[in-house]
Structure 1
Amino acid sequence: MESSNIQGKKVAIVGGGLVGALNACFFAKRGFHVDVYEAREDMRVSSFARGRSINLALSHRGRQALQAVGLEEQIVSKGIPMHARRIHTPLGKKYSIPYGKKNQYILSVDRANLNRELLTAAEKYSNTKLYFGHKLIECNAELGTLIIKSSRSGQLPLEVTYDLIVGCDGAFSTVRKQFMRQTRFNYSHEYIPHGYMELTIPPRDGDFAMEPNYLHIWPRNTFMMIALPNMDKSFTCTLFMPFEEFEKLVTGEQVLDFFQTYFPDSIPLIGEKRSYLCSLHVPMACLLEV
């Protein structure tokens, strides 16, 4: 679109996560008036931010996107290079698979910090406004209208109109649901059989408990565990496994037996007596999200 046609054009971005915040930067940089509606409260000021906390492995493609909005160095400076996959076998042996032959690497970055930085970057544009605690109730793509409800008590839903509506509101997208009400709109949604559980490998004696510049992987056929390094010298550890396998772990003893069978070298790293490892047997709904 020519710059002369952009003047006065209004864009609504539904969802202030990574995708929504990055899109806001791109649209604002082009000169559009951008409003971002996020159902959750501002994660930069709230004491507890809901959502995934799994680290991101930032590749060249992601860095290019950040570079385009002037954030690459800012994010890279808070990331940890991972030059290879570090494979952990059931017998405790380890070997590496490099990401390339020219010293290439991907970066372990904190997802929440990246989201905060993107929101702050978007907010710096004078033509961008962020609305937190504002949930999309209904939209009409043909008319460009949105009905937004504020989380503040006593406020009536707002009806607003835009030239473009961008749905960045995740797997259970309200924008998509509204599109599905249109004729001849095809859509399918299929759930994978896997869930995940997050664990932490804490620092040991003030340093990383494992080699830090790797993406550690424990591949075990239908399930696996990974660990990515953090700036505080801990590792964010994630167990991906079919729900039916999680449901077999009913007692703390079964959990420990499971780890001793499949991830024996991780037990002293995570800590056998750490509460979250011993509580894997609590109801799955409290622990897992797809």
Structure 2
Amino acid sequence: MTRQSITLIGGGLVGALLAQLLAKRGFAVEVFEKRPDPRVAGFIGGRSINLALAERGLQALRTAGLADDVLQRAVMMRGRMVHPLNGTPGLQRYGVDDSEVIWSVSRGGLNTLLLDAAEAAGVTFHFGQSLADADIDQRRITLVDEKGVERHHDAPILVGADGAGSALRAAMNDHTPLGIRVEPLGHAYKELEIPPATGATRFAIEPNALHIWPRGGYMCIALPNTEGSFTVTLFLPAHGPHPSFDTLPDSAAAATFFREEFPDLLPQIPRFAEDYDGHPVGALSTLYLDRWHIDDRALLIGDAAHAIVPFHGQGMNCGFEDTVVLADLLAESGNGTRDAFAEFQRIRQPNANAIAAMALENYIEMRDSVADPHYLAKRELGARLAERAPNHFMARYRMVTFTHLPYAYVFERGRAQDMLLEQLLRGSTSANDVQLDAAISTLEATLPPLPKLRHG
């Protein structure tokens, strides 16, 4: 029996995991990746913002049999360590205890592990092969290597996992308009580094946390790496009045800004000038498509279909969740690819739109609300309700990060819960102002119980 062939464009995180899952389900999978093999050439980044691995991504890795291997290379993060401009840093836990944590993982290291696993499952990779053209009608693609040499490849089933700048998306859109909409955030980022500490501690600051320096309209974050360093990311308006990347054109201007706004962080970055002047300013946008596929011929997945801003740490997790849904649908469909592609979009598009919205909201929360007294009161009241009435209340962040509840459900439930918290607090900045038994009665009368299945 001839195995059904699937061609993937893109061998990054989502492409490599999808390839392995499809191969394990009996498909013959070939992957074309424009970059050289990172296991040979070293990792060449696209975006290199550290990745936050949460339950949805972990569940996909469990399906692939890779979760334990990945966690051995990850650093646990219990919560946000908030660094106010004046005051003592404080930890805001993500979950109720150490059973609810997220993990900082290296993009390059994870990509290497996924490529090895996919090859072991029988996937064929072709590196240094850029998609030059896709003839959707003839189900045939043209690829060009780094020397400009063309090759053609028959691709009866074509899946694009080639990221936010997807070449396959452009080719599909030329054939059939996909309703592409790109919404720039207006803010951009630049990466810096806190090096490992000398001595036994390895880490210069608390290792088991995602550090945030919230400053209202902008912020810095720092995520730990296994070898003891931290990847620091500065988020600022891209253009406009101070502070913006326009007004901080070089490390001298930026260092003055850091001395004023991040005085405890600057001394931790000894290569500040080299990092700031040497690293590019990265753009941040949200991508929406009306159509993710062209009948049974071509489909987009992950960032190629729904790139989001990184402020909920869910881009990779959402993409990994995509791979399990698609692999299952294709395995169940026999040769009915059209139905599988349509069902994939039907299931995943509302969830992609929901996490895109929540990621945008989380940027405001991270850079501003985490230091706001009313927000902290809502957070405290929510924690008390979750403890006393766990079947009716769970913080939205916990639902996103530690459960498999659909993002679309979480978005709507989170809005309803937030309206209830606002109603209970009535503008107060203290959870102690709310009579808890009465609040629980209101909660149980207002909102239905949460779905039973929550954790993986």
TM-score computed with the length of structure 2 as normaliser: 0.58
C-alpha distance in 1 between matches for 2:106 and 2:178: 37
**2:177 is the counterpart of 1:177:** no
Counterpart of 2:265 in structure 1 is 266
**Cα deviation per residue 1:227-266 (whole Å; 9 max; x = unaligned)?**
1111111111111112120110145442122101211110
Provide the aligned length of Structure 1 versus Structure 2: 276
Counterpart of 2:274 in structure 1 is 276
Aligned pairs (5 A) from 1:1-290: 7-47=2-42, 49-103=44-98, 104-126=100-122, 128-152=123-147, 155=149, 157-183=150-176, 185-206=178-199, 207-244=202-239, 245-271=244-270, 274-276=272-274, 279-280=276-277, 287-290=280-283
C-alpha distance in 2 between matches for 1:46 and 1:266: 33
Q: Which has the higher helix share?
A: 2
Higher relative contact order (CA 8 A, sep 6+): 1
Deviation at 1:142, TM superposition (A): 3.7
Per the alignment, in what secondary structure is the counterpart of residue 197 of structure 1?
strand
Q: Which has the higher strand share?
A: 1
**Cα deviation per residue 1:182-216 (whole Å; 9 max; x = unaligned)?**
34532222322122111111122232111111010
Per the alignment, in what secondary structure is the counterpart of residue 130 of structure 2?
strand
Distance 1:48 1:58, change over 3 A: closer
AA in 2 matched with 1:256: A
C-alpha distance in 1 between matches for 2:169 and 2:87: 46
AA in 2 matched with 1:289: G
C-alpha distance in 2 between matches for 1:185 and 1:51: 24
C-alpha distance in 1 between matches for 2:129 and 2:175: 24
Per the alignment, in what secondary structure is the counterpart of residue 135 of structure 1?
strand
C-alpha distance in 2 between matches for 1:168 and 1:26: 14
**Cα deviation per residue 1:79-100 (whole Å; 9 max; x = unaligned)?**
1111111111111521111111
C-alpha distance in 1 between matches for 2:25 and 2:43: 33
Per the alignment, in what secondary structure is the counterpart of residue 85 of structure 2?
coil
Distance 1:95 1:69, change over 3 A: same
C-alpha distance in 2 between matches for 1:86 and 1:252: 26
Counterpart of 2:349 in structure 1 is none
Counterpart of 2:351 in structure 1 is none
RMSD of aligned residue pairs (Cα, Å): 1.9
AA in 1 matched with 2:7: A
- Asked whether the equivalents of residues 201 and 234 of structure 1 are also in contact (C-alpha less than 8 Å), the reply is yes
Deviation at 1:48, TM superposition (A): 5.5
- The percent identity for this pair of structures is 39
Per the alignment, in what secondary structure is the counterpart of residue 264 of structure 2?
helix
Per the alignment, in what secondary structure is the counterpart of residue 115 of structure 2?
helix
C-alpha distance in 2 between matches for 1:8 and 1:252: 56
C-alpha distance in 1 between matches for 2:143 and 2:251: 45
